[in-house]
Amino acid sequence: MMLRYLGCKPESCTNVHITPNAARRKSPLNTIAEAAGQAFGLVVAADPRLVGIVLLSLRISLAAVVIGCVIGLPIGAAIAVNEFRGRRTLTVILNGLMGLPSVVVGLVVYLLLSRAGPLGAWGILFTPTAMVIAQAILIMPTLAALSRQVVADAWQEYREQLLSLGETRLGAAATLLWDLRFSLVTIVLAGFGRAASEVGAVMIVGGNIDGVTRVMTTAIALETSKGDLPLALGLGFILLAVVLALNAGAHVVKETAQRRYG
């Protein structure tokens, strides 16, 4: 019966010596239960190393979201309200870049920041700053593409009124970003989710250095490869809980504000 959990048919496992005890330890169900217990234990104990990892993860991803928003949202809004040659092409490219693989971003940022690279003199490779840069680049297309869509939809409704009042195109982009702030919350959360959950880019440009650049995702990857699945999964649970809590908070704010402002 235990063998079934391992995905083996009993007859094909005849020459594999697995004691019932070993099989139980490796059962995925047990791993999940053990991981939940371990995660709980880590949280209750407020293990300082764990707290350090969680805080670093949050700091890096939040900084990346702020930078990504400051650059990405105005770009999205500007594309939405301006009519120019190549707008459609730009939109398609932007939408496509939402699927940018994080390892590719990591690699490019690595090449830029490495000693021999054009920005090597900054000396920030394998620092949290490099990780922020990589995550910001990763999520910027997502923020720009999704905000372009939201602003373009609203522009249909607002266009004549704003132009009639004497608003310029760029002024309209800024006005709309502020007016759509509650809808944009969801987009910003999507950006944060992508930043907090990616592992490839921060692994490459951060290096997963214990106590310096180790974040939740790189810690999970490391523990998995070390074979400590319960700890890896426990960290996963905590990551999920943090992201869920942030989303829930933002959702409540959004709902309340939307009821008030219509």
Judged by the rule CB under 8 A, the positions of this chain that interact with another protein are 157-158, 160-168, 175, 179-182, 260-262
The smaller minimum CB distance to another protein, of residues 70 and 163, is found at: 163
User: Cβ 187 to another protein, closest distance in Å?
Assistant: 16
Phi/psi for 67 (5° steps) reads -65, -45
User: Cβ 177 to another protein, closest distance in Å?
Assistant: 11
The smaller minimum CB distance to another protein, of residues 11 and 160, is found at: 160
Q: What is the DSSP string of 21-63?
A: HHHHHH-HHHHHHHHHHHHHHHHHHT-HHHHHHHHHHHHHHHH
Element (DSSP H or E) covering residue 77: helix 48-81
Query: Are the CB atoms for 243 and 61 separated by under 8 Å?
Result: no
User: Cβ 261 to another protein, closest distance in Å?
Assistant: 4
The smaller minimum CB distance to another protein, of residues 22 and 168, is found at: 168
DSSP letter at 10 equals G
The smaller minimum CB distance to another protein, of residues 134 and 162, is found at: 162
The smaller minimum CB distance to another protein, of residues 161 and 210, is found at: 161
In angstroms, what is the C-alpha Rg of the chain?
23
Residue with tokens 């592992």: 199
User: Cβ 260 to another protein, closest distance in Å?
Assistant: 6
User: Cβ 174 to another protein, closest distance in Å?
Assistant: 12
Q: How far apart are CA 75 and CA 148, in angstroms?
A: 8
User: Cβ 151 to another protein, closest distance in Å?
Assistant: 14
Query: Are the CB atoms for 149 and 217 separated by under 8 Å?
Result: no
Burial 66-91 (b: 16+ CB within 10 A, else e): ebbbeebbbbbbbbbbeeeeeeeeeb
Angle CA 61–66–71, to nearest 5: 125
Dihedral of alpha carbons 37, 41, 42, 46, sign:
positive
The smaller minimum CB distance to another protein, of residues 126 and 158, is found at: 158
User: Cβ 165 to another protein, closest distance in Å?
Assistant: 5
The smaller minimum CB distance to another protein, of residues 210 and 255, is found at: 255
HSE-CB of 140 using CA atoms within 13 angstroms: 18
